[in-house]
């Protein structure tokens, strides 16, 4: 008997969480070994280590409690990794030396596997004078480009690439440039962006009043608040970024507002944190706790839930002592406040098992009941820990009970805290659970609705072939098991694609009421939603008490799992270079490189890099296929012999990629993102981070001029060597890990439904 409810669960465990040696040999022989490894590691800080190991194992067993991925993968190993998921770095100083000190700290944190957040509002705006050097400031976005390039070079522990969140206040003079940054798809690819929106700004938006953009007491511009709001809305309508964080609400609702101020969040937004703040995450799997599912007697036992929550809180508190930290400041911050973020996953599945339609008032009411129960149980468990081990060092009973969520908590919980203290300053948060929800049998993620009842997943086999398997939602599979494989699903089964946006907001608001920190949630909007209706979603999120809002509207820029690319003009029969057709909406690439014709059309470009003695010359030749020009080869030449080796290597590698066909626009994106630690240069009024990035820009200019790309920073215009088949099949953007066209926005993060790859780690 396998513990896994679906093949994808075992595959995710093997790829992401199973402990292996350096040669790939399995050290965890079974998932039970993984649970045992985690339980033993987290119990090691207890006096009764053996007793708590068994209690912790029982909580992990059958995926009832799901520690976040970094704990599952890293606990009980000898790897130098952090078990914390979320970090917000120190306040960025408005000085060159201070900025690059912060860059170093970010690199060290991501090297150990942490995702980080930064507030770039503290850097003076572009054009502001820089004392002592007779120059103007380049502004925060230029330094964000440096951070972005650094992040690309860091492969964090467990093959997790670092993820970053950048925030900027709505009154910073460069906020309009920040809002528009993602219009260039090749820029800031490693960042999620969010605007810190204040209550006075929202009041000015509603009143259509003026809004001052200022820095260090100086007003640079005055704009209409509603115009600025519309710019934020239009950018996220078109590009799915920036997100919106209601920062005043976050600080007002913070249990620690008497000793900290928050200005940034972790990459997915569920964890607002102070400078050097750190938080670890875990989730109660609600789908595993429902007894008598799909009957009138379906319920979650209060006693069972309380017991599981208490065990989870103790395990998470132990992580604070068991984990390594990239920086000493992070260790001190974590130990002084002992923040934890216990949340849920499988909530939508649990609601289905009770016959409730996600997004309905009844489902929202049930969600609020469950999450209040979890909040109470978490606080009381932390009080018990305080009795045994002491309160968090910065605890002050009067100030704590007069702050944040404590103001609305039940009197018996408040009295227990006043009498005994509390071990963990904040206890609840709802994190992205995309990968761990697959690991738990494809339960619904976090508090999201079921994304899809089922989909077909292509699995790469060891011999290079691909097989297909159906991936079915946990609750849907359970319903089928009870009522037959062909049973029609009841009306209360809804998914993310059919749910109206305001129903998403209703669920987020219901959950937020009893969550200390915040919630990672994506509000799916239909492609044809009007701009006015789209703006209404954000205003409703603000008015209903949410701490932030992230939406995803599928379109040509963001990609969509519900749309497919247009068919090419030529069919495979007319274009023999194409490989055989494959099902599932895949792009069909050439099976062999094209032969080089005797004559090619091309252009030669001169690139003069500042401070370089010799220019670089790029020749780009094109081939015509199906009546369209597409790049075929590149020649890069320079008289500077220092450039010889890498220009020759680039010539060969880029040409080899071009000759394979398909969408090769990623070559431009990758080159443009290369960062030279010695510094870039200003070329024609634009900062270019390296000479390689400049080469990427030249190639992009050529591809735009020949009609291969739509425009600068934009995607493929037409690919005559590709054909889309299966026009009725769901299709998303290509996954950078497995190559399948199955990337989808889940909980504010692009996630692959095929292999579990996540932009946010």
> Which residues, other chains included, contact 583 with Cβ-Cβ below 8 Å and sequence gap of 6+?
468, 725, 726, 729
**In angstroms, rounded to a whole number, what is the distance separating the alpha carbons of residues 162 and 541?**
29
| Catalytic residue numbers, as ranges | 266, 268, 270
Residue 186 lies in a domain: yes
**In angstroms, rounded to a whole number, what is the distance separating the alpha carbons of residues 31 and 138?**
51
Residue 502 lies in a domain: no
DSSP code of residue 125: P
**In angstroms, rounded to a whole number, what is the distance separating the alpha carbons of residues 335 and 278?**
9
DSSP string over 557-613? TTB-TT--PPPPSS-TTT-TTB----SSSPBPPBSSPPPPPS--EEEEEEE--TT-S
The pLDDT confidence band at residue 680, using thresholds 50, 70 and 90, is confident
Q: What is the largest CA-CA distance in the chain?
A: 87
Residue 326 lies in a domain: no
Residue 667 lies in a domain: yes
* Distances from the Cα of 220 to the Cα of 107, 131, 215, 639, 698, angstroms: 33, 18, 8, 47, 35
Paired strand residues for 454: 472
> Which residues, other chains included, contact 654 with Cβ-Cβ below 8 Å and sequence gap of 6+?
634, 667, 699
Q: Note the pLDDT tens digit of each residue in 200-234.
A: 999 999 999 999 999 999 999 999 999 999 999 99
What's the domain range around 581? 568-728
Q: Rounded to the nearest 10 degrees, how much is the dihedral formed by the CA atoms of 36, 328, 265, 285?
A: 10
**φ, ψ for residue 561, nearest 5 deg:** -85, 0
Paired strand residues for 450: 495
Q: Note the pLDDT tens digit of each residue in 646-677.
A: 888 888 888 888 887 667 888 888 888 787 76
- Residue 86 in contact with residue 114, Cβ under 8 Å? yes
**In angstroms, rounded to a whole number, what is the distance separating the alpha carbons of residues 415 and 235?**
47
Compare 462 and 750 and report the one with higher pLDDT: 750
Residue 111 lies in a domain: yes
**φ, ψ for residue 502, nearest 5 deg:** -70, -20
Question: Nearest CA to 715 among 559, 553, 528?
Answer: 559
Q: Which of 245, 272, 306 is the last residue of a domain?
A: 245
**In angstroms, rounded to a whole number, what is the distance separating the alpha carbons of residues 165 and 161?**
14
Compare 86 and 741 and report the one with higher pLDDT: 86
**In angstroms, rounded to a whole number, what is the distance separating the alpha carbons of residues 151 and 673?**
10
**φ, ψ for residue 262, nearest 5 deg:** -105, 135
SS (H, E, C) 646-685: HHHHHHHHHHHHHHHCCCCCHHHHHHHCCCCCCCCEEECC
Sign of CA dihedral 554, 559, 564, 568: positive
Into how many domains does the chain fold? 2
Q: What is the pLDDT, as a whole number, of residue 227?
A: 98
Three-state SS for 463? Answer: coil
Q: Residue 709 CA to chain centroid, in angstroms?
A: 27
**In angstroms, rounded to a whole number, what is the distance separating the alpha carbons of residues 662 and 664?**
6
Q: Which region among 207-216, 453-462, 751-760 has the lowest average model confidence (pLDDT)?
A: 751-760
For the record, the structure tokens of 141 come out as 């976005």
Residue 28 has pLDDT above 70, yes or no: yes
The pLDDT confidence band at residue 751, using thresholds 50, 70 and 90, is confident
- Residue 690 in contact with residue 682, Cβ under 8 Å? no
Percent of the chain beyond pLDDT 70? Answer: 86
438: left (phi over 0), alpha (psi -120 to 50) or beta: alpha
- Residue 131 in contact with residue 100, Cβ under 8 Å? no
Q: What is the pLDDT, as a whole number, of residue 305?
A: 98
CB atoms within 10 A of CB 438: 23
Inter-axis angle of helices 361-389 and 411-420, to 10 degrees? 20
Residue 328 lies in a domain: no
Q: What is the pLDDT, as a whole number, of residue 104?
A: 92
Q: Which region among 39-48, 426-435, 475-484, 564-573 has the lowest average model confidence (pLDDT)?
A: 564-573
The pLDDT confidence band at residue 555, using thresholds 50, 70 and 90, is confident
> Which residues, other chains included, contact 174 with Cβ-Cβ below 8 Å and sequence gap of 6+?
125, 126, 139, 140, 141, 168
Q: What is the pLDDT, as a whole number, of residue 756?
A: 66
Residue 144 lies in a domain: yes
> Which residues, other chains included, contact 108 with Cβ-Cβ below 8 Å and sequence gap of 6+?
326, 327
- Residue 564 in contact with residue 259, Cβ under 8 Å? no
Before 242, cis peptide (omega within 30)? yes
Q: Note the pLDDT tens digit of each residue in 140-186.
A: 999 999 998 888 776 433 344 558 999 999 999 999 999 999 888 77
Q: Note the pLDDT tens digit of each residue in 358-405.
A: 999 999 999 999 999 999 999 999 999 999 999 999 999 999 999 998
Residue 573 has pLDDT above 50, yes or no: no
Inter-axis angle of helices 361-389 and 302-322, to 10 degrees? 50
The pLDDT confidence band at residue 740, using thresholds 50, 70 and 90, is low
The pLDDT confidence band at residue 556, using thresholds 50, 70 and 90, is low
| Mean pLDDT of all residues in 41-45 | 96
- Residue 523 in contact with residue 491, Cβ under 8 Å? no
| Mean pLDDT of all residues in 464-474 | 79
Q: What is the pLDDT, as a whole number, of residue 366?
A: 98
> Which residues, other chains included, contact 586 with Cβ-Cβ below 8 Å and sequence gap of 6+?
724, 725, 726, 740, 741
Residue 621 lies in a domain: yes
């Amino acid at each position: 008997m396998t513990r896994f409810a679906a093949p994808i669960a075992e595959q995710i465990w093997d790829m992401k969480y199973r402990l292996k040696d350096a040669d790939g040999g399995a050290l965890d022989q079974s998932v039970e070994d993984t649970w045992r490894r985690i339980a033993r590691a987290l119990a090691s800080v207890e006096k009764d280590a053996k007793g708590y190991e068994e209690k912790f194992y029982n909580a992990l067993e059958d995926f009832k409690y799901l520690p976040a991925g970094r704990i599952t993968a890293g606990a009980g190993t000898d790897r130098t990794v952090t078990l914390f998921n979320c970090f917000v770095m120190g306040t960025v100083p408005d000085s060159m030396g201070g900025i690059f000190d912060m860059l170093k700290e970010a690199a060290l944190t991501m090297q150990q596997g942490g995702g980080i957040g930064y507030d770039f509002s503290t850097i003076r705006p572009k054009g502001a004078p820089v004392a002592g050097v007779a120059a103007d400031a380049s502004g925060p976005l230029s330094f964000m480009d440096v951070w972005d390039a650094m992040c690309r070079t860091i492969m964090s522990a467990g093959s997790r690439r670092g993820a970053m969140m950048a925030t900027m206040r709505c009154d910073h003079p460069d906020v309009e440039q920040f809002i528009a940054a993602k219009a260039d798809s090749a820029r800031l690819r490693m960042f999620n962006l969010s605007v810190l929106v204040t209550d006075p700004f929202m009041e000015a938006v509603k009143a259509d009043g003026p809004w001052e953009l200022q820095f260090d007491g100086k007003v640079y511009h005055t704009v209409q608040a509603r115009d600025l709001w519309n710019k934020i809305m239009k950018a996220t309508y078109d590009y799915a970024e920036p997100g919106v964080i209601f920062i005043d609400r976050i600080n007002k609702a913070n249990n620690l507002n008497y000793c900290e101020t928050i200005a940034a969040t972790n990459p997915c937004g569920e964890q607002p944190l102070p400078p050097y703040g750190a938080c670890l995450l875990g989730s109660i799997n609600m789908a595993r706790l429902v007894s008598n599912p799909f009957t009138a007697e379906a319920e979650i036992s209060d006693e069972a839930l309380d017991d599981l929550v208490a065990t989870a809180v103790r395990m998470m508190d132990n992580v604070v002592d068991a984990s390594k930290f990239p920086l000493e400041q992070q260790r001190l911050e974590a130990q002084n406040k002992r923040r934890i973020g216990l949340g849920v996953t499988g909530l939508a599945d649990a609601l289905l098992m009770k016959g409730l339609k996600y997004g309905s008032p009844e489902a929202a009411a049930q969600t609020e009941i469950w999450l209040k129960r979890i909040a109470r149980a978490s606080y009381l468990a932390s009080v018990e820990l305080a009795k045994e081990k002491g309160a968090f060092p910065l605890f002050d009973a009067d100030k704590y009970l007069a702050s944040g969520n404590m103001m609305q908590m039940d009197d018996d919980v408040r009295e227990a805290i006043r009498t005994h203290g509390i071990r963990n300053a904040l206890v609840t948060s709802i994190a992205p659970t995309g990968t761990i929800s697959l690991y738990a049998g494809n339960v619904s993620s976090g508090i999201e609705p079921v994304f899809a009842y089922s989909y077909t997943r292509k699995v790469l086999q060891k011999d290079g072939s691909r097989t297909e398997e159906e991936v079915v939602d946990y609750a849907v599979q359970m319903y089928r098991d009870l009522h037959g494989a062909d049973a029609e699903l009841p009306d209360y089964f809804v998914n993310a694609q059919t749910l109206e946006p305001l129903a998403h907001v209703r669920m987020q608001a219901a959950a937020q009421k009893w969550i200390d920190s915040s919630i990672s949630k994506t509000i799916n909007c239909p492609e044809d939603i009007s701009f006015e209706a789209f703006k209404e979603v954000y205003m409703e999120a603000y008015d209903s008490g949410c701490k932030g809002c992230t939406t995803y509207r599928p379109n040509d820029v963001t990609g969509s799992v519900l749309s497919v690319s247009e068919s090419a003009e030529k069919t495979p029969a007319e274009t023999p270079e194409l490989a055989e057709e494959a099902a599932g909406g895949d792009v069909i690439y050439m099976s062999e490189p094209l032969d080089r014709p005797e004559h090619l059309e091309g252009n030669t470009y001169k690139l003069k890099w500042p401070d370089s003695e010799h220019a670089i010359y790029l020749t780009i030749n094109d081939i015509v296929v199906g009546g369209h020009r597409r790049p075929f080869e590149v020649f890069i030449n320079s008289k500077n012999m220092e450039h010889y080796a890498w220009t020759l290597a680039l010539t060969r590698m880029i040409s080899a990629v071009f000759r394979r066909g398909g969408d090769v626009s990623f070559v431009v994106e990758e080159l443009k993102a290369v960062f030279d630690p010695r510094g870039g240069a200003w070329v024609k009024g634009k900062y270019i981070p390296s000479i390689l990035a400049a080469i990427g820009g030249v190639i992009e200019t050529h591809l735009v001029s020949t009609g291969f790309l739509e425009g600068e920073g934009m995607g493929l215009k037409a690919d005559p060597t590709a054909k889309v088949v299966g026009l009725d099949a769901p299709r998303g953007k290509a996954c950078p890990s497995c190559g399948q066209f199955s990337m989808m926005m889940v909980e504010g993060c692009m996630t692959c439904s095929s292999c579990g790859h996540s932009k946010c780690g």
